[in-house]
Amino acid sequence: MSRVGQETEAIRAKYYPTMSKNYYQVTWEPIAQWKDTDANFVALYKSAYAGLHAKDPNAVVMGPAEPFQSLTTTRLQNLAKLGYANYIDAVATHGYYDAGTSPSHPPERHQTDANAADAANSLMNEMRLLRQEMQKEYKPNMKLFVTETGISYDLGTTYNPNYPNMNVLYAHGAVTARTHIILLGEGADQTYVFFGPDFPGEVGYGTFFDLDHPQAAFGTTNISPKPAAMEVATMTRVLDGTTTLGPVNNTPKGVYAYSFQQIGGGKVITALWTHNNSWWPEVNNSFATDLSTNYTLTVDSAGTSGTVQVVDAMGNVTNVAYTNGAVTLKLREQPMYVVSGNASVAKANATVPVGYTGM
């Protein structure tokens, strides 16, 4: 580990001198991979932590990177009493949230469940419980990295000449973008999209088509973007270089909104969409593309008027007028982004995730 730290820091200094830290994820989904005791799991991290920090002054050691946030939370709880907090500088997790993260299992699916135990399994609540555990038993205000999250096609489906159709691709793209917006909005410092092109065995996880192999193959080079790739590109362009202000307060049932601010006191970007389980999926496993919900977003002080930029899921920009400090929007299952200038209003209308400090 000392040698890894020494060589990594040498590479950073030579090729990436403006990069402030080197990040080391020590384990990957240990619930499936780790066959030893909790005590030896902590001992593994103790060794890695000591070795990496011995030779890399910019090391950030992170773990445990379970597949679900809830599983990461549970492992953190189990390891806290063994001193695990002494051997990580940040928390890593994967962002899967359901038994099949897919168009039919969107991240908001359990959010409105009356049963609290079921509602805890929504992506929003899993992230909030993880942030709470980090703040309670680990170093205060730790960074959180979601190092892998993807959306597949529905469980049990297969590639064929008629699948996926455009309706499935619409839903796949919308759920992919919404999932990563929620992860960032609920306090992830960074999130990583899984995967590039489709690959065999797990149908649809790619954000690009494999154009050469009907059942997909690893290492393909002839690819084409799905709608999901375009939505990820838009999301990245709009939200990269922002910090999270958190979920917008007091949104009505079925409306989801998160605000972000560009680093250095810049513009505010609010990502918004609507989701209703009764629309999604509909009859014959289709996904609603034309249903919408009206929502009024406060973007400025009362009594003011002006315009905001609205960016749709594919990156198209329009200027929309607002009056009395608020703009009325027609929300759909695909997210949109509203770019506004009054950060004070946005901050007063959102709740920063527990322990999140941003850049």
Judged against a pLDDT cut of 80, whether residue 162 lies above it is answered with yes
In tens, the pLDDT along 50-92 reads 999 999 999 999 999 999 999 999 999 999 999 999 999 999 9
In tens, the pLDDT along 174-217 reads 999 999 999 999 999 999 999 999 999 899 999 999 999 999 99
Pairing verdict, β 293-298 and 190-193: unpaired
Q: What is the pLDDT of residue 285?
A: 76
Please count the residues of the chain. Answer: 359
Judged against a pLDDT cut of 90, whether residue 274 lies above it is answered with yes
Specify whether the backbone of 272 is left (phi greater than 0), alpha (psi in -120 to 50) or beta: beta
pLDDT category of residue 279 using cuts at 50, 70 and 90: confident
For residue 165, the 8-state DSSP code is -
- What does pTM read for this prediction? 0.97
The number of beta carbons lying within 10 Å of the beta carbon of residue 301 is 11
Judged against a pLDDT cut of 90, whether residue 353 lies above it is answered with yes
Dist. CA 20–CA 124, nearest whole Å? 30
pLDDT > 90: what percent of the chain? 92
The number of beta carbons lying within 10 Å of the beta carbon of residue 202 is 15
Dist. CA 356–CA 359, nearest whole Å? 9
Q: Are the C-beta atoms of 336 and 235 separated by less than 8 Å?
A: no
Which domains are delineated in the chain?
2-234 (3.20.20.80), 243-348 (2.60.40.1180)
Burial label for 264, CB within 10 Å (0-12, 13-18, 19+), is exposed
pLDDT category of residue 117 using cuts at 50, 70 and 90: confident
For residue 160, the 8-state DSSP code is B
Dist. CA 349–CA 340, nearest whole Å? 13
Least confident of 112-121, 210-219, 261-270: 112-121
Dist. CA 259–CA 343, nearest whole Å? 10
Better-scored residue on pLDDT, 136 or 118: 136
Q: Alpha-carbon torsion 97, 72, 247, 232, what sign?
A: negative
For residue 323, the 8-state DSSP code is B
